[in-house]
Structure 1
Amino acid sequence: MAMSCKFRTVDMHTCGEPLRIVVEGMPPIEGRTILEKRDFAKANLDHIRRFLMFEPRGHTDMYGCYLVEPSPPVPCVTEGDEVVSDDVKAEEKAHLAVLFLHNEGYSTMCGHAVLALARFAVDHKYVDPATAVTRCRHDDARPTAQPSATQPAGDTAMVTASAESAAVECGVDAGGVREVPVNIECPCGLVRAHVEYDMARRRTGRARFRSVPAFVLHTDVYVNVPGYGSGRDASSHAAANSPGRVLLDVSYGGAFYALVDAAQVELDIRTASLELLKKAAAAIKAAVQASLPITHPYSPELSFLYGVIFTDGKDKWQQENDSGAPEPTANVTIFAEGEVDRSPTGSGVTARLAAQYHKGQIALQQQREFIQPQVKGSSFTGTVVAETLYGKKQQAAVIVEVCGKASYTGECVFHLEEDDNIGEGFLIS
């Protein structure tokens, strides 16, 4: 692999999950839309992904992104009531666009990366901090009309929200802090983020983002999974291959996830080894892919199962004590090729909240804390802030807000010597 150029990166983490942002060295990534750019990178530049994500510069759980030119800001295009293009509107132009990278390829949405990129965009002058406004509340979730069946589906502006939406806070001082709005174009669509900005110290802080429409695809379905679940013959010498049934949901939060209470596979996500979690996730993912259709309302390129989220089963919002604080819930996400998220997973939190709201387990504006139990202090908050309709069939969907904190870990310059074949990138399974 000939690679004479050097790559400069800014490295960050969000609640422990890494993000390597490539800021210099990338060749042009062709394509008019973000999905065309993603296809081009997959077909022509995959050696760079392996070079930056794999060992010896990365590892099997490394995560990163390329910065690309945003798609042309044209109106949403529809055919009848079906959205066929989700390009951003002129008044909502993206400040930057990104392609996400991991050990298997290129994901469609990444919440932890969006939270980090919101800081990065302000700190690296993609967005002027002078645009900061004094608001830490959901004042852009004011009630609007519910879309009719003839209006364009998938438009996140066409939502309904409760009157209390302007009074729900994002885990920050009730007196209000300045926030800078940052629009980030992801393969799943435009994601609107806000990042705290201390005007006196000129320092960014916590961030929050509004999801693309999130919805449940399959609810309370049983999937036959060899070696796991109820109904299998655990006493058999062939128990590992004995068929069992696992109850799960499949939900979309910018990517599709299978949501599974870990107790069904006899694992405790707080103490189970990553090897056991990854093994169970691989079996469940294969079973879901073989038995359930995974179909996005209008984009075939988004129609795939990205990962499995093991939860503690505490899906219902309820007060933990007399103070009114809601009880946290824990989850561990295994995505791509057995990659384990160190954060609670932003798109996963979105998918979980969509499922919880669909089942009546949480209401609009009820904020919930989500933790990754194997990383101390790894915590996001999530809130269903509005309802919407999405896709050709106008299916029920929600808009979710996720909040968290990203930190910088360093800056790197990577290069490859001519005779270093190992340095092109490798993984040990």
Structure 2
Amino acid sequence: MSGELTLKLIDTHAGGDVSRIVVGGIDPLPGTTVREQMVYLRDDADGLRKLLLSEPYGIPEMSVDLIVPATNPLAEAGYIIMEVMGYPIYSGSNTICTATALLESGMIPKQEGHQRFVLESPAGLVQIEAEVVNGVVEAITCGGLPSYIDSYRETIHVPSIGNVTYSIAYSGGFYALVDARALGFSLTLEEESRLSLCAYAIVEAIQAKGGFSHYTLGDVGPLPFLHFMGPEEQVGDGFYRSRSATYVHPGVICRSTTGTGTSARLALMHHEGRIQPGDKLETVSLRNTGFIGELISVRQEGPHQVVENTITGKSYVLARSEIVVNCHDPMVDCGGLHHILTSERGS
């Protein structure tokens, strides 16, 4: 036995965030839902995530999405999201990339014009709208998770920074939302490393205060994310634009503004009475890429006003490849991985 196996990948990016879509080489996972399959990967086969986000195959700034069969008959396919911080149940940029890869690979047949289908994420069913022009996927609109404000304009003392005012939103994960200008940032690419250090200090301080509980999911772990908000400008009727940056892990500022970060902004703007259903916000990254969030509707859930929203963006295919996984390579750790690798040899 050579110990050499292969994984089939489609590398994509949306807004600069690279998502590696795994389309072959992994055995079927146990679980009656995509959420249960995600839990199995997390608890018993985390080697796939570590392999593809670490040297020599990848870097922590990337994401991985594993295509799995849908367990709900309404969905065309399922997908499991893996990032350096773990297994988020939802991600806008990963959903946009996954939907694009499924269409561009033919796993879901493309239809010219406006196309609708459903995917199954660990968070549940996701409605997808694709715009296909001359055979090219030009835009993907996906449903964002219901979002709400948990805490509004609280203040915390952060060593080396001082007092910081922040709000907490849930949009698929809990986000700290902070005013970039109040912290001395213009949200330019040159500030990226300083933004990361600043966000890390703030997140550590908020985590030390305690965790947050979702109104139906309960304890979803410590606060992982921070979103820097630039000034908003109105660029059209019900259309706003703002520079933004999202921190997800020590040393990692996302290349894009992130879909969940954009959803969190919509929840805050509605909480402050500054947007209504039908209004849109374009968040613009340090690299001048953007996502457009639209507030669809609002409903009351206990003490929370919950915002239904969509996120629109474009993904590009970077590569279609087979990578060799050689478990005898001293740089490759097959622990937590070998038992889910399909035992077919690459040619």
Q: Same fold (TM over 0.5)?
A: yes
Question: For residues 235-314 of structure 1, what are the structure 2 equivalents within 5 Å?
Answer: 244-300=162-218, 302-312=220-230, 314=231
Within the candidate set 402, 412, 417, 2:326 is matched to 417
Within the candidate set 109, 128, 138, 2:90 is matched to 109
How many aligned residue pairs are there?
333
Give the conservation status (yes or no) of the 8 Å contact 1:103–1:337.
no
> Whole-Å Cα distance in 1 between the matches of residues 287 and 13 of structure 2?
13
Q: Secondary structure at the match of 2:224?
A: strand
Tell me what 1:52 maps to.
Answer: 52
Give the conservation status (yes or no) of the 8 Å contact 2:327–2:333.
no
Tell me what 2:267 maps to.
Answer: 354
Offset, 1:120: 2.2
Q: TM-score by structure 1 length?
A: 0.72
Tell me what 2:314 maps to.
Answer: 405
Structure 2 unaligned regions, length at least 5:
335-347
Give the conservation status (yes or no) of the 8 Å contact 2:210–2:222.
no
Q: Secondary structure at the match of 1:196?
A: strand
The 3 A distance-change label for structure 1 pair 389 and 129 is farther
1:215 aligns with 2:127: no
Within the candidate set 312, 315, 319, 2:234 is matched to 319
Tell me what 1:396 maps to.
Answer: 305
Offset, 1:266: 2.6
Question: For residues 14-413 of structure 1, what are the structure 2 equivalents within 5 Å?
Answer: 14-72=14-72, 93-129=74-110, 178-198=113-133, 201-228=134-161, 244-300=162-218, 302-312=220-230, 314-315=231-232, 318-320=233-235, 326-372=239-285, 374-376=286-288, 378-390=289-301, 393=302, 395-413=304-322
Give the conservation status (yes or no) of the 8 Å contact 1:189–1:212.
no
> Whole-Å Cα distance in 1 between the matches of residues 193 and 241 of structure 2?
25
Residue identity matched to 1:295: S
Q: Secondary structure at the match of 1:48?
A: helix
Q: Post-superposition, which runs of at least 4 consecutive aligned residues in structure 1 deviate over 4 A? A: 323-327
Offset, 1:104: 2.6
Q: Which has the higher contact order (CA 8 A, sep 6+)?
A: 2
Give the root-mean-square deviation of aligned CA atoms: 2.3
Identity across the alignment (%): 23
Give the conservation status (yes or no) of the 8 Å contact 1:54–1:103.
no
Residue identity matched to 1:375: R
> Whole-Å Cα distance in 2 between the matches of residues 359 and 123 of structure 1?
40
> Whole-Å Cα distance in 2 between the matches of residues 394 and 185 of structure 1?
29
> Whole-Å Cα distance in 2 between the matches of residues 56 and 385 of structure 1?
43
Give the conservation status (yes or no) of the 8 Å contact 1:211–1:350.
yes
Residue identity matched to 2:96: L
Task: For residues 337-382 of structure 1, give each alpha carbon's deviation from its aligned partner in whole angstroms, at most 9, with x where no partner exists.
Answer: 442211121111011111111111222212222100x213x01111
Residue identity matched to 1:57: Y
Give the conservation status (yes or no) of the 8 Å contact 1:118–1:194.
no
Moved more, 301-310 or 107-116: 301-310
Q: Secondary structure at the match of 2:261?
A: helix
Q: Secondary structure at the match of 1:344?
A: coil
Residue identity matched to 1:218: S
Give the conservation status (yes or no) of the 8 Å contact 1:104–1:337.
no
Offset, 1:222: 1.0
Tell me what 1:164 maps to.
Answer: none
Q: Secondary structure at the match of 1:319?
A: strand
The 3 A distance-change label for structure 1 pair 295 and 42 is same
> Whole-Å Cα distance in 2 between the matches of residues 46 and 301 of structure 1?
22
Offset, 1:336: 3.4
The 3 A distance-change label for structure 1 pair 9 and 360 is same
The 3 A distance-change label for structure 1 pair 219 and 272 is farther
> Whole-Å Cα distance in 2 between the matches of residues 53 and 347 of structure 1?
21
Give the conservation status (yes or no) of the 8 Å contact 1:223–1:291.
no
The 3 A distance-change label for structure 1 pair 35 and 327 is closer
The 3 A distance-change label for structure 1 pair 292 and 263 is farther
> Whole-Å Cα distance in 2 between the matches of residues 102 and 112 of structure 1?
12
Residue identity matched to 1:424: D
Structure 1 unaligned regions, length at least 5:
74-92, 133-177, 229-243
Task: For residues 227-275 of structure 1, give each alpha carbon's deviation from its aligned partner in whole angstroms, at most 9, with x where no partner exists.
Answer: 11xxxxxxxxxxxxxxx32111111112211111123333332154332
Give the conservation status (yes or no) of the 8 Å contact 1:332–1:344.
yes
> Whole-Å Cα distance in 1 between the matches of residues 9 and 137 of structure 2?
19
Q: TM-score by structure 2 length?
A: 0.88
The 3 A distance-change label for structure 1 pair 280 and 64 is same
